[in-house]
Structure formats: C-alpha cells, structure tokens
Chains A and B, each alone.
Chain A
Amino acid sequence: MSFEMPVETWPAAVSTVTLGATAEQGGTRTSTVTVGGEATLPFLNFEQETPNRPVIAMEVFDEQPSEWPAPLEAAYSDVWGDPAQWAQKCVEEYGADLICLRLASADPEATNASPDEVADHVRAVLEAVGVPLIIWGCGDYDKDNEIMPVCSQAAAGERCLLGSAVEDNYKTISACALADKHVIINEAPLDINIQKQVTILVTDMGVDPSDIILYQTTGALGYGVEYAFSIMERTRLAALGGDAMLGMPMLAVVGAEAWRSKEARLSDEAGAEFGWGPQEPRSILWEAATATIFLHGGCDILTMWHPEAVALVRRTIDELMA
C-alpha cells in the first residue's frame, strides 16, 4: 500500500520574540535569543521546520538560597553569595542561553532589600554576562511594584524579559516594559481564560503582542505536571488556530518546581527508605524529565537549576530538533 504522511495545515503561527539587545539595538548584550515562530506542533519537522529551538534560562538568585539540597549546593555554593559570579558560572561553564535573575532579596519576609540595592544586583549581572536577562520580582505585589521600575530602568534598552504581569497586578510592570523597551511575562494560574484576560489587559496598556511571553504556573513531574502540559497543548493549538491573544511563546518554571518535589529533595539515606536510589541522579533526572514533558507541550523557554539537568535537556532539544 502507499502511505501518505498525515500532514495538517494550521492557519496561524506563534509570534516570534527576540530577547536581549546588542549595542546596535540600543543595549549592551553580546548575544540575543529568539524564540517562537512555530507554525506546527512541537518538533513535527515533517510538517514545518521548527524555526527557533527552545532555550534554557538558568536561574540565579540575588542572595544565597536557604536550605538548597546537596546536589545544588555542590554546583553553586562557590558562587551563590554573588549573583554576578553565579551568572558568569552559568554562562561560561554551563552554557546558559540566558540568565533568569530572581530578586529574592527584595522579599519583605526575607532580607527586604531596597529598590536601589536590588537594582545594583541587576546592573552587576548585566555587566558580568553578555546573554539576555530575565528579571523576576520577589512575588510580593506591593514590593515588586516598588522594585521593578527601578530595576527596569537600570536595564533600560536591554530588552530583558520582566516577570510577571498577573491579573491583579499588571500595570506597573507593563509601564516598565513600555518605558524601558522590555518584554513581559504574562502569568496565569493554570487557567487559559485568565491567561487571555491578562494578555488583553496588558495589550490594552499599550504593550505590543510581540513583546509578550506566556506563563502558566507550573507543576513538577508527579505534582500536577499534566495540568501545565495540557494547558500548554491547548494554548498552542489555540495559537495555531489563530487566537492572537494566546499566540505567544510559552515559558515554564522547571527548576523551582522540580526541586520542591520529594523525589528531588530526599537525601540518599531518606530516599533509600523508599528504594528510590541516590539523590544526585534522581533529582537531576526529575528536573530534566519535568522539562522534557513541557517541551512536548510546546514550551519555548525553560527556567532551570541544575547544570547537569540543563545539559540533559539541551541534548534532548538537539535530538528533537534533528
């Protein structure tokens, strides 16, 4: 019998977004990252080439994280007191495509650093590395509304990705993106309608749809990964079907979620009780497997923690793109 490839046609494509700006473009980045542009489902090269490979942002915290499990401590304890050195290590040793700087020190529950202090951290990281930056607030809405304008200005013209605009708190960050030429992350709590709503709110503020990345709060493997996976698939199908309010590249927070799981956190001894095997390969694989599922959901930007998980996922992306 003759076999015909079941090729499908899609009326629309995902928007293409470039992060980072070089000197010519008004910034100081030595490289930029372009994501999106897909005109089919992930990696179906028989239908359409994937124009831009998914990228990995390695996360850097602007103060030393507390109680990180041993495998992360082993990777980062030499640099985790200094975000600039930490970012440098991620780029130079581990080949990060971009750096996701978490302004954890601003958290009123923690150090409660001032806007000027955290902006200094942003400047230091921008100076230390040439890759584009994601700058993510501490999660406290009021505090983020204080720090983000100062940090955004400190990075003006760099086309950073700012996180995050949510339904109840999107105005300040939208204004930052507009004023200082950045891109923003639209966040929704695993809800496709809220995701659309945030996009509508943010574009109403004047943000261009090509300056938006979508993010649905993520769950790790074993902890709700399938919700995020299915929401991503639905979002991507809607995008390819022509829904412009969902037609942007997607981001997933992988490291933070995967490393909350018991499977990643339990030590060798504690894991042995369940017959789970040694912590290092177990935790690394947990992070990598979580990431890989999101790749199949259509995710364009993965934020990750462990360098070996990053290496594994990069190889998987190579294989899927081939």
Chain B
Amino acid sequence: MALSAIEIYQHLPKTNCGDCGVPTCLAFAMKLAQKQASLDECPHIGEEAAAALDSAAAPPMATITIGDSSKALKLGGETVLFRHEERFHHPCGIAIEVSSDLPADEVTAKAKEINELEYERVGDMYGVDLVAVRDAGNGSFGEAARVAAEAGDLPLILMSDDPSAMGAALEAVGSGKPLIYAATAGNIQEMAALAKEHSCPLAIRAEGLEELASLSGQALEAGVEDLVLDAGAREAGQVLQNETAIRRAALNKKVRELGFPTIAFPVGDSVVEKSLQACNCIAKYAGIVVVDFTDAVGILPMLTTRLNIYTDPQRPPQVPPGVHEIGEPGPDSPVLCTTNFSLTYYIVEGDVSASKVPVWVVVVDTEGTSVLTAWAAEDFTAETIAAAIESSGIEEKVNHKNIVIPGGVAVLSGKTEEESGWNVIVGPRESSGIPSFFRQQGFS
C-alpha cells in the first residue's frame, strides 16, 4: 500500500531548506507520494528515515519466482483481500508430488505426465505448474530430483527436511531455481544457507503463525528474500484461518515477515476429498497447493476454481467470436446469435443443451457485455450482427438463411434483415425460454 504524503512527511527533516528543489518538506512529501520525485533528491535524509520509508514503500506482499525456464512461476504480489476490490494478480500454483522411492524410470514417467497434463477451456489450454519431488529418505532424492528436472520444463519443488539431502538434490539439478521445502525450526540456518548459495526461493514450515513469523525473520536476516510460507496446519478450518491471518497481517499490518505467498497441502482419504480441499485453499489465498494425484477428476475442478477466482473482475470473461457448435448441428440446424460475454454464452449453451436440439451459434464480439448492455452500447446492432454472420462463414455450413436473435433486441429484426439478407426470427427474451421456443418452431 502506498504511503500518504503526511506519512512520508513524518520521516523528512522538516527544515524546509529547499535543497531538493522544492520549497517545503511537505511539498516534497506530496511529490514523493505521487511518485514524481525520489527520496535521494533530499540530501539531508538520515539513514534510518530512508530505511523506514523504503520498507514502507515496498509492496506489502513480495512477488517471488520459482524456476528459470519459460515455465517459471511468479507468485505473491497480492494487494487485496477480496477479488472485487481490484483483482488477484498471480494465480495459485498447482503442484503434483512424486516420491523419490519410485524407480528412476517411474519418476521420469510421472514427471513427464505432470508436465503434459493439460485441459482445454473456452479455447485456451490450462495445466499444472510445478513438479514436487518428495524425499522418501531412501538416499535417492538427488537422483529423483535430477530425472524429474530433465523430464520437462516445469519448475520443481524439492521437499526434504534434511539439509544434506537437500544440498545433494540442489547439486544434482544444477540450476533451475527450484523451491526449497522446507526450512523448519530445526534446520533454518542450513536451509537458508543452501537457498542463498543456490539463489533459490525458500519455503518455511512452522508450527503456527508466531513461529512462522519468527523463522521468516531469521531467513530474512540470513539474506534470503524470496520466501514461501507454511503455518503447518492441514485441517481445512485451521488452514483457512491461517491463510486469512497471513494475508491480513501482510496487507493491513505490513508485517514484512508474513508478506509472502503461502503453500498448502490438502489432505483427505480420496482424490475427490483432496481435490475438494484444494479448491477450498485456492478460493482463499493459497499461493501454491500440492497434491499427490494426477487424475483428471481431481485436477480439473482445481484448475477451474483457480481460473474463476483469478479472473479480473473488471474485464468480463469472453468466448471467442465466430461460429460455435452446440451438439452436432447439420445443414438444417437452427442458427442462433448472441454476444461473446461468457456468462451470456454459457446460459444460452446450457438452455440449448437442455432442449437437445443441435444448433449453430453466431457469437458477436461485444467486448464481453450481455445482450441488453451491448445493445445499449451499440455493440450489438443490425450492423455488428450482419458483419458477424458474414465473417463467421456460417453461410457455408447451413442450407437456409434463418437466424434467431434474442427476444430482448426484437427491435433489431427489420434492420438486421436488411443488413444481412437473412430472415430474422425473434427468439425468447430469456434464454430459459429456448426449449419451448424450439418446440413451438418445430425444431427437434
């Protein structure tokens, strides 16, 4: 959070000497607050005041990077507690675990599988972000880390509480800026030294928030600036409270030791239970979630929860303009048109699916607004509908020239017929009327 001019002014010499080029200290503070001046323009500022202002001006939650490939993952940097206040900036990283007690070829196979997990949603591909290699304590952690690193571009989390095993694994993977998990009360000095030596981010695991803040402070003192926090709890209720406390402490109280992204380990008796708890964590502040399964059934809701929670509320989600198919439409199938606001499109898609009538939908680019909003803003007009019909290529897909427009814009029907040369049928006002509309029109 930026400092106000008055807060900055408290730290200035208050001599109004004018050596900075501004007549008074208060005026200089106002320029600083607006970022029109920099602190070193004041020759008289003391070291202590400069440090205080620097740390106060720093973002309340650090942004850290795991990995150094094209798949490097940025985390943290969050500025709000609620997505409607602004947006969440860096989507929660999803990690899948591989245990080092698997034979090397199985570690490779699993790491490859994790690297290749990908699902399509509205034209985009989504996958997981990290491969977490867990030290099973059988002496092959370094080897497992090495083959997992070689299996793909996803960055790694190296998981061991044993500094010598961690050191060996860091040597084995060479570079790649993996996340070290974890420094604990028992090994913080050794782990911090490893993080510094290898320039890697360091995760801290503690028993509770107080110990977490204390260990984090020790890591910062040791010169490790890229941290990830784990307050130790695994039960959903305590995890939620810890996550909330950490986010509030960082943003509202400027507790530097807690101004870092978090890592969570969902627990449960089955893939379904673990996935559900992962969704809990993603909905409320987790920076990384680590799970131990690759099943689509469990991964898909996690990817989707993340996608939804991290969308920018100021920029409406959109579907690509053009022709969309619902069911398997043929040349006789009806042609509908609507806007490219995702919600609008999904509602239409749901109601059309319920009707069991396969259709073509011409989606008009209205910059993600709904039918009536787009109509009012003149983004959904006879002209834009006609242009969308033309550019979509729908004419080659069907043997008729009938298009159904939303009932809410019935007023556009005459003009749209003129502009497009298509016969316009006015559909229902509400999408929920589509199934009965189709019945009345005799579509099946």
Let me know if A316 and B280 touch, CB within 8 A: yes
Interface segment, B11-19, B169-177, B236-244, B359-367?
B236-244
Q: Does A148 contact B (CB under 8 A)?
A: no
Given A230-B82, A277-B297, A320-B240: A224 in contact with B343 (beta carbons within 8 A): yes
Residues 204-237 of B, flagged 1 when their CB comes within 8 A of A and 0 if not, give 0000011011100100000000000000000111
Q: Is the CB of B235 within 8 A of A319?
A: yes
Q: Contact between B209 and A43 (Cβ–Cβ < 8 Å)? A: no
Complex contact A1–B214 (CB within 8 A): yes
B248–A8 touching, CB < 8 Å: yes
Say if the beta carbon of B35 comes within 8 Å of chain A: no
A26 in contact (CB, < 8 A): no
A224 touches B245 (CB 8 A): no
State A276–B120 Cα separation when bound (angstroms): 11
For the residues of B in contact with A, the DSSP-based class is helix
Q: Which of B102-110, B268-276, B406-414, B419-427 contacts A (4 or more CB under 8 A)?
A: B268-276
B275 touches A289 (CB 8 A): yes
Pair A230/B283 contact, Cβ less than 8 Å: no
The answer, yes or no, to whether A38 is at the interface (CB within 8 Å) is no
Q: Is the CB of A223 within 8 A of B346?
A: yes
Question: What's the minimum C-beta distance from A53 to chain B, rounded to whole angstroms?
Answer: 12
Interface centre among B248, B301, B342 (most CB of A within 10 A): B301
Count of chain B residues with a beta carbon within 8 Å of a chain A beta carbon: 59
Which single member of B217, B272, B295, B300 contacts A1 (CB below 8 Å)? B217
How far, in whole Å, are A56 and B257 apart by their CA atoms in the complex? Answer: 40
Judged by a CB distance under 8 angstroms, whether B189 is at the interface is no
Q: Do residues B300 and A282 form an inter-chain contact, with CB atoms below 8 A? A: yes
Cβ contacts B236-261/A at 8 Å (1 or 0 each): 11101100110011001101010000
Give complex CA distance A43, B243 in Å.
12
Give A67-79 as 1s and 0s: 1 = Cβ < 8 Å from B's Cβ atoms: 1000000000000
B432 contacts across to A, CB distance below 8 A: 139
Shortest CB distance A81–B (Å):
21
Beta-carbon contacts under 8 Å, A283-298 to B: 284-286, 288-289, 292-293, 296
Q: Which residue of the partner chain, among B235, B279, B343, contacts A292 with CB atoms under 8 Å? A: B279
| Between-chain CB contacts (< 8 Å), 5 pairs | A3-B209, A227-B343, A234-B82, A260-B354, A293-B309
- Besides A41-B244, A224-B342, 14 other CB < 8 A contacts? A5-B209, A46-B241, A109-B436, A219-B343, A219-B346, A222-B307, A225-B308, A226-B308, A227-B343, A281-B297, A282-B297, A285-B272, A319-B277, A320-B237
Footprint of B on A, CB under 8 Å?
A: 1-6, 8, 41, 43-46, 67, 109, 139, 219, 221-227, 229-230, 233-234, 237, 260-263, 265, 274-278, 281-282, 284-286, 288-289, 292-293, 296, 312, 315-316, 319-322
